[in-house]
A and B are shown apart, each in its own frame.
Chain A
Amino acid sequence: MLVVSAYRQYRSSSEMALLSDSTSSIATHLALEELAYVDVTGIPHPYVVDAAKPPSLGNFRRTVGGDNFEFQVAVLYMRENERVLGPYGPTLPEEKMNCTLIFAATIFENDRYLPAKIKVIAWRA
């Protein structure tokens, strides 16, 4: 019983670690490429989110290390009061384990670079 219980918890812990790393991978790809602001000369600005891009993000399914994941994304930022873009993506399933990652980023809106937070919630598809 002791060993079975420990093994189950070890598997659960490893699964959570895998989900955490996969969420980081999805978040990094979003911040550096998919949501990155591209200026008028065509130069991309990684770590800077274009305020117009999150609503037009169409695909919320990613494959990381051979495993399929789905995610929601929201961008929060301060402009007098807190504003929230999103969340965009499928509804969060209640019965599945998920990982939430909130990290700092910059958002480009109305010709200004504002501090923002990106919130990504990912789960196994």
Chain B
Amino acid sequence: MSCYIYNKFVQEQRGVADVLAIAIMFLFVVLIGVLLHAYMLTPLRSATDRQLQLKSEYLYKTMETAWVDPYAKSYLTAAADNLVLTTPTVPGEYLRSAMENTLGYLLPHDYAAEISLTHENRTWKLIYPDVGPPAGNRFSHSGSISVIRAEAGEERTILVQATLTLFRMG
């Protein structure tokens, strides 16, 4: 009788330990699974962000180098002219229309761009498509555009700060 009681006691002790060990292992496995699921898209999201940053830089460089048809002046240079010169080569309304057409062709699907140029207290800005100011992740590239202005018989070089921001439309 005493032997039976002893064996039963030992078996119950082992049983509880086994159940506890299995439960902890199960919880551990579930936790690893949940963490892997939670973080598995992180590398891909980061890679997508890097591509969008690259697209923002290339879009800025395109606006800096490509000419406004039929003029022999780049989009950003023409915009800088409009900001600081009284008689720019490319008329303001024509430039905005041409820039919107070009952005419509070049922009990634579902993305909008904000182009802003500043000099002293003046700003030239274009958002296309016009969906309001950027919200969420922004991918920007900045640079400076030089414009030559004639002042009192002398030519003066003016640097205009330009920024292009790419953002997802809401």
> Which chain A residues have a beta carbon within 8 Å of chain B's beta carbons?
2-3, 5-7, 9-10, 13-14, 16-18, 20-21, 24, 27-28, 31, 45-48, 78, 101-106, 112-117
Contact = CB atoms under 8 A, between A and B. Distances in A.
Interface residues of B, number: 33
B50 A21 contact: yes
A105 B47 contact: no
Contact of B50 (A3, A24, A31): A24
Q: Which 5 A-B pairs have the closest CB atoms?
A: A6-B36, A17-B47, A2-B33, A17-B43, A47-B61
> Which of B29, B47, B51, B55 has most A Cβ within 10 Å?
B47
Nearest to A118: B58
Contacts of A16: 44, 47
B48 interface: yes
B36 A10 contact: yes
Given A6-B40, A102-B108, A45 B51 contact: no
Nearest to B105: A78
A106 B62 contact: yes
Contacts of B64: 47
A103 B65 contact: no
Given A13-B40, A17-B43, A103 B33 contact: no
Given A20-B48, A21-B47, A115 B54 contact: no
A24 B105 contact: no
> Which of B46, B61, B65 has most A Cβ within 10 Å?
B65
Interface string B27-63: 0011011001101110110111011001100110110
B67 interface: yes
B40 A104 contact: no
A113 B40 contact: no
Contact of B51 (A6, A14, A101, A105): A101
Contacts of B102: 115
Given A114-B67, A115-B105, A103 B40 contact: no
Nearest to B37: A6
Nearest to A107: B66
Given A10-B36, A47-B61, A115-B66, A28 B41 contact: no
B28 to A, nearest CB: 10
Contact of A2 (B29, B46, B106): B29
B54 to A, nearest CB: 5
B163 interface: no
Nearest to B102: A115
